[in-house]
Amino acid sequence: MLKRMKMILKKEKGFTLVELLAVIAILGIILAIAIPSIGKVISNSEGKAHEANMDLFENAARLAYVSGNQEDTYTLNELEEKGFLDSIPDGFAGTEIVYVENNGGSFVYEDRRTPGN
């Protein structure tokens, strides 16, 4: 009986290689599912941030237009200098080539930045 107890205790000291491989395989499957999902979330948030910036530019241009600065074209730097934008969002800072054009009260955006800038 004592020998049987010693054998039982020896068998219960750790994980087998098969058990460890099974855990690693399960973790690999979870990561394979999660990584593309995380990429989609990041991509969607970048698109929504861009849309929010475009709405911000539209509102600033409309405010400038109705405040008596009725021009056909506004740059972001002009809108910031005149106080219609608090600051230019990251990715647009330091550029004067993003235009907001007024077509009869309807504002149209044209991003004239060169690719990579």
Nearest to 60 by CA among 93, 39, 86: 86
Give yes or no for a contact between 53 and 92, defined as CB atoms under 8 angstroms apart: yes
Q: What is the mean pLDDT of the chain?
A: 77
Task: Say what percent of the chain tops pLDDT 90.
Answer: 14
**Which whole number is the average pLDDT over 12-27?**
88
- Asked, for residue 38, whether it belongs to a domain, the answer is yes
Amino acid 32: pLDDT: 92
Instruction: Indicate the number of domains in the chain.
Output: 1
- Asked, for residue 47, whether it belongs to a domain, the answer is yes
**Which whole number is the average pLDDT over 23-46?**
91
Q: Is the pLDDT of residue 106 over 80?
A: no
- Asked, for residue 100, whether it belongs to a domain, the answer is yes
Nearest to 104 by CA among 63, 72, 57, 58: 72
Give yes or no for a contact between 60 and 77, defined as CB atoms under 8 angstroms apart: no
Residue 77 C-alpha from the chain's centroid: 24
> What phi and psi, each to the nearest 5 degrees, are found at residue 107?
-95, 135
- Asked, for residue 62, whether it belongs to a domain, the answer is yes
Which has more pLDDT, 116 or 79?
Answer: 79
Domain that holds residue 100: 18-111
